[in-house]
Amino acid sequence: MRITPRRRLTVLALIAFVTWGTALAARAARGTIVLPVEIVGENGTTVSVTVDVPSARARDVRSLWMQVHGLGYAGMASVQVNSSAWIALGNDTASIAEPGRSYGGIGGGFGTLKLTVALPANTVVDGTNTIRFRFNQTDGIASGFRVVAFNFLGSDASRVIESDAFIQENPDTWTPPLTDPDSLRAGREAWVGATLKASSLQDAKTIRAHCADCHAHDGRDLKYFNFSNASITARSRFHGLTDLQGRQIASYVRSLPGRGPGRPWNPPYQPGPGLDARPVSDWAAGAGVEWALETDSETLSHVFGKGGITPDAFRPDGNLNPREIPIALQLPDWSHWLPRVHPIDAWGTAFEKSDFAKLYDGSKSSLRETLASTALSSHIASGRITTMFDKWTLARRALLKPYVEPANVRWTPELGTNAYGTQLWQLVKTWEMTQEFGLEGRGSELFGSTGESRTWFNGIPAATAPAAVNIPDGPAGMGGMALTNEYFDASWYELQVLVNSGNHQHLDRTPVDWVYVIGRFQSLYRESGRPEPARLLVALIKSMQSTDPRIGPDDVERGWRPTRSVDPAIMVLPAWAPMFEPLPSETRRAITESLLTAWLDKNQQYRVDRYFRVNIREKSYTVPGGYTDIATGKPWESAPQLEAAGIDENLIARLQAWGTSYSEMARRFQYGGRGGGMGITPRLPR
């Protein structure tokens, strides 16, 4: 049973769930407004909230501002103030705030949007006013939405209702709707085995997957992200269960042990200050949607801190913490993690018989069995867990290969949804196992002192990008358009950087192919029109810091190689100028000089001949199409552009001198290719 993002929402303190066309006034004692307002259920579900407006401000009200979670398509929801006409929410009837607007607004990638709706004159009156929110109709995916915050705005755009009029509902006070053992047992049984419909649409087909198949097997995700009793019950009915079964499932979820640190609208792992100060068990809850910044430029101060832009910020032997650096990209909420179609319903017996299914569960050598064993510590220390996750991803590729890799594959929305659902299923089950077996805090057992304090043991987030299974931009892509498809590509690559960027111990180009991931910033920019130089710099720094400081270039797969990361010349390449254009020229210059200095200092830790040894052979690597300019391994060839950018001439001279020395040594060892000899076995000079 998938409780999608756009479709379920939070409870408010006096907002009781309302069915078909019935409006219920929600108001707390002493006039306090409880947030969020949750509107979930059948078509026409309406929830009302009453608010008091001071007489001095009522006539000045010009609009209604809202922060809404789960608006998946135009016309899904409507709002009414007092006796005004209903206003259906769409990109043409509401003003969508940036950056959500640039990512598609309503129907785009962001799960939570800020929007403003103009109101007719004199709509708001002195004293008590009623705001009604209505879920108009489902598209076969949505079952409601949440109003996370709202306020009236005056003619000067100031907020009319005082902030102390609102309180946030506390999920810790929630209790199971039913408490008797039989109901809890029935809820567990329905969660695991009840037959479901694909949706609440009249012609919806019966599906083979059960609630536990698309969610965490024990329902811990609904508890962790605090989906309300009302939303769980409504979603159960959406999938063809009875109201009683829905309340039983909600009771089972509510009775699970532990507390839930997350909320449905807070994107998992959204980075932000203070996140590492919270227990590792809270990491997945993220820093909160409030740390999804309005502009990329706000990220810069968190990257460079009080010390300013210096080479130290770029040192390959350093350890920038991306978990604590807020970005302007809102990551997918939990509902966007959940697969719309389970692999069993997408591929049938091909999935059932696949190694992909068996490696998750069902055999003694499966991931779940291995993680549950008493030898877990040795499995982590030996790297077996990492190997098994890699094997699982290869098994997914083997399952999907006949469907997504043939040259003549005909991409349709159905095929795109099925393939992406399989990717999401793997991601959700990875989260499930990571949480259940407490893996996130055990990085030091595998990576030692150079590793991150908290980490994942795999590259599955990056493998979740639609591009990873060749889902094309356009009608067959996610959201049916290139912009949304590129948003999800970027989001899952960003998640990979956050949960496992290599822990200073990359192996060749895993877990992150930095040239590819950084190159894809261009793809998102082409669709959104929003350059993200600061977020890109975080990725660039982490790419340089993926190497173990204790290992030199002699170790081709793990050691520092100047050809392995993205060229520092990216800062001055013409094709990348639009990406860095938002930065003031002095800031760009300082960043470029600091980046070059850090890169050169690291290179010069080793004699040039150590990059070219007999019998050293780098694996063949084909630079992804369109990204060759940032992967030449010869940034000194960009000296003219560096000079034009005003870079210190002494630094340029130093770069050219090192480049000359490096190139001469490459010639002596008869290397070819990218200045380092990709795929060429070096020979001693005669």
Three-state DSSP class for residue 146: strand
Give the pLDDT band of residue 144 (cuts 50, 70, 90).
very high
Of these ranges, 340-344, 448-452, 561-565, the one predicted with the greatest mean pLDDT is: 340-344
Q: Give the H/E segment covering residue 535.
A: helix 533-544
The b/e string for 666-676 (b: 16+ C-beta within 10 A; e otherwise) is beebebeebbb
Whether the pLDDT of residue 9 is over 80: the answer is: no
Which residues lie closer than 8 Å to 331 by C-beta, 6 or more apart? 267, 268, 269, 270, 286, 292, 491, 494, 495
Average pLDDT over the chain, rounded to an integer: 91
Give the pLDDT band of residue 672 (cuts 50, 70, 90).
very low
Give the pLDDT band of residue 620 (cuts 50, 70, 90).
low
Mean pLDDT of 180-209: 98
State the pLDDT at residue 557: 82
Whether the pLDDT of residue 27 is over 70: the answer is: no
Q: Cα(532)–Cα(517) distance, rounded to whole angstroms? A: 13
Helix count and strand count (H, E) for the chain = 24, 14
620 vs 86 pLDDT, higher one: 86
State the pLDDT at residue 617: 62
Give the pLDDT band of residue 619 (cuts 50, 70, 90).
low
pLDDT digits (tens, 9 = 90+) for 624-670: 778 889 988 899 999 999 999 999 999 999 999 999 999 999 888 87
Burial status of residue 274 (CB atoms within 10 A of its CB: 0-12, 13-18, 19 or more)? exposed
State the pLDDT at residue 615: 63
* Sequence spans of domains, the chain: 5-169, 173-254
State the pLDDT at residue 582: 96
The neighbour count for residue 127, using CB atoms within 10 Å, is: 11
pLDDT digits (tens, 9 = 90+) for 62-82: 999 999 999 999 999 999 999
State the pLDDT at residue 116: 98
CATH code linked to domain 5-169? 2.60.120
Mean pLDDT of 456-472: 97
Q: Cα(27)–Cα(14) distance, rounded to whole angstroms? A: 6
pLDDT digits (tens, 9 = 90+) for 102-135: 999 999 999 999 999 999 999 999 999 999 999 9
Whether the pLDDT of residue 680 is over 50: the answer is: no
Q: Cα(12)–Cα(31) distance, rounded to whole angstroms? A: 14
CATH code linked to domain 173-254? 1.10.760
- Residue 601, CB half-sphere, CA atoms under 13 Å: how many? 15
**Which of 295-304, 448-457, 541-550 shows the lowest per-residue confidence on average (mean pLDDT)?**
448-457
| Proportion of the chain above pLDDT 90, given as a percent | 82
Q: Give the H/E segment covering residue 388.
A: helix 384-404
State the pLDDT at residue 563: 79
pLDDT digits (tens, 9 = 90+) for 509-540: 889 999 999 999 999 999 999 999 999 999 99
Three-state DSSP class for residue 37: strand
State the pLDDT at residue 26: 35
Whether the pLDDT of residue 12 is over 70: the answer is: no
Q: Of the candidates 641, 617, 619, which has an alpha carbon nearest to the alpha carbon of residue 629?
A: 641
Please report, for residues 53, 54, 56, 113, the alpha-carbon distance to residue 160 in angstroms, rounded to integers and kept in the order given: 7, 8, 10, 20
The neighbour count for residue 628, using CB atoms within 10 Å, is: 13
